[in-house]
Amino acid sequence: MFEKELNYYIKNKEDLLKHHENQFIVIKKDKFLGAYTTEQEAYIAGLKEFGNSAFLIKKVIKEEEVVRFPALNIGLLNANIQ
**33-73: pLDDT as tens digits:** 999 999 999 999 999 999 999 999 999 999 987 766 665 55
Q: Report helix, strand or coil for 29.
A: coil
Backbone angles phi, psi at 31, to 5 degrees: -105, 120
**Residue ranges of the domains in the chain?**
3-71
Contact 49, 40 (CB under 8 A): no
Whether pTM > 0.85 for this model: the answer is no
